[in-house]
């Protein structure tokens, strides 16, 4: 059963065509990545899924219901962690549950524990490093009631080693909770390392140029990055993007 579908979605911004007849679908529990160069329309796709923008054609369907132009159905994590500075870490983690009658402190504490952040439970965001803040923002997204988490290039500002560390951490947490993730990146290696499937965007106006099913078993580790099969896939996707 498809959890989310974008059907024949076209979008333009001030007369400029950004997306043209874009189709994609995501299944429950999947980790999918939308891959394309800067300016190709990746964040725009999230704005459409999140109802911040409305396509001039096509529809967005969540659990069988049309949600085109509706807000609040997905949990969105922007590039910078955006924690509220006047709230403690536990209160930030539970922010997505603001409208729920009873906040799930037990689960939040369990997640903080697993993320190695329990000792910062009552600290404020300025007491945490950049990477720790990002983990908190991610836990918040995981605990939100929405069925899908959208992650917009969360690791692009990190150095190579920290990025790999965060990717491994993200996978380990995701494998425990199996919430559906749509991830956006311009980094081929990152897309291959994390995803079940990759949607490769075409040159402007963007549509899905190809869907790549990632064959690598889970759990994944860094050794995978140096195998022949990984490099082959990397080259294949590189060539796809090159041709536009």
Q: What are the residues binding ligand ADP (CB under 6 A)?
A: 13, 16, 18, 36, 38-44
92 and 125 Cβ atoms separated by less than 8 Å? yes
Q: Residue 212: count other Cβ atoms within 10 Å of its Cβ.
A: 19
State the binding string over 25-44 for Mg ion (x if CB under 5 A, else -). Answer: -----------------xx-
Burial code (b: 16+ CB inside 10 Å, e: under 16) for 74-93 equals bbbbeeebebeeeebbbbbb
Residue 39 or 215: the one with the smaller Cβ distance to Mg ion is 39
81 binds, among ligand ADP, Mg ion, none (CB under 5 to 8 A by kind): none
Give the sign of the dihedral formed by CA 137, CA 26, CA 217, CA 159: negative
CB 184 to ligand ADP: min, Å: 7
Residue 34 or 111: the one with the smaller Cβ distance to ligand ADP is 34
How distant, in Å, are the alpha carbons of 5, 117, 120, 142, 178 from that of 113? 35, 6, 10, 14, 18
Cα–Cα distance measured from residue 92 to residue 111, given in angstroms and rounded to the nearest whole number: 13
Cα–Cα distance measured from residue 11 to residue 15, given in angstroms and rounded to the nearest whole number: 9
36 binds, among Mg ion, ligand ADP, none (CB under 5 to 8 A by kind): ligand ADP
Residue 41 or 125: the one with the smaller Cβ distance to ligand ADP is 41
41 binds, among ligand ADP, Mg ion, none (CB under 5 to 8 A by kind): ligand ADP
38 binds, among Mg ion, ligand ADP, none (CB under 5 to 8 A by kind): ligand ADP
The pairing of strands 74-77 and 2-13 is: unpaired
69 and 23 Cβ atoms separated by less than 8 Å? no
Please give the size of the binding site for Mg ion, defined by CB under 5 A. 2
Cα–Cα distance measured from residue 66 to residue 73, given in angstroms and rounded to the nearest whole number: 11
Residue 40 or 92: the one with the smaller Cβ distance to Mg ion is 40
195 binds, among Mg ion, ligand ADP, none (CB under 5 to 8 A by kind): none
Closest residue to Mg ion, judged by C-beta, is 43
Residue 40 or 144: the one with the smaller Cβ distance to ligand ADP is 40
Residue 56 or 105: the one with the smaller Cβ distance to ligand ADP is 56
Site residues (vs Mg ion, CB under 5 A):
42-43
């Amino acid at each position: 059963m498809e959890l989310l579908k974008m059907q024949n979605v076209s979008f333009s911004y001030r007369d400029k065509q950004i997306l043209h007849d874009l189709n994609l679908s995501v299944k429950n529990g999947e980790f999918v990545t939308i891959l394309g160069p800067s300016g190709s329309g990746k964040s725009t796709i999230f704005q459409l899924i999140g109802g911040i923008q409305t396509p001039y054609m096509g529809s967005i369907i969540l659990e069988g219901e049309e949600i085109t132009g509706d807000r609040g159905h997905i949990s969105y994590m922007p590039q910078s962690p955006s924690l509220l500075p006047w709230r403690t870490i536990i209160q930030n983690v539970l922010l997505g549950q603001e409208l729920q009658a009873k906040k799930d402190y037990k689960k939040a504490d369990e997640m903080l524990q697993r993320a190695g952040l329990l000792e910062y439970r009552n600290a404020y965001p300025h007491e945490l490093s950049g990477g720790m803040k990002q983990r908190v923002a991610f836990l918040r997204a995981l605990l939100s009631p929405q069925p899908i988490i959208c992650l917009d290039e969360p690791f692009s500002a990190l150095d190579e080693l920290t990025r790999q560390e965060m990717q491994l951490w993200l996978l380990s947490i995701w494998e425990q909770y199996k919430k559906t993730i749509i991830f956006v990146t311009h980094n081929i290696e990152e897309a291959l390392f994390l995803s079940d499937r990759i949607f490769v965007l075409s040159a402007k106006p963007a549509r899905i140029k190809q869907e790549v099913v990632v064959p690598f078993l889970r759990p994944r580790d860094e050794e995978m990055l140096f195998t022949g099969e990984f490099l082959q896939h990397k080259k294949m996707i590189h060539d796809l993007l090159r041709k536009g």
